[in-house]
Amino acid sequence: MDNYNQQEFARKLLYTSTLDHNLQESIERWIDDCEDVELLARLTAKLKDNQLDPITSGLNYTSKDIGEHLKKIL
Measure the CA–CA gap between 58 and 18, rounded to whole angstroms. 14
pLDDT tier at 56 (50, 70, 90 boundaries)? confident
Q: What is the four-CA torsion angle of 58, 56, 61, 22, rounded to 10 degrees?
A: 70
Please, which pLDDT band fits residue 1 given cuts at 50, 70 and 90? confident
* CB distance 30 to 23 below 8 Å: no
pLDDT band at 59 (very low <50, low <70, confident <90, very high): low
Longest dimension (CA), the chain: 41
User: Percent of the chain having pLDDT more than 70?
Assistant: 99
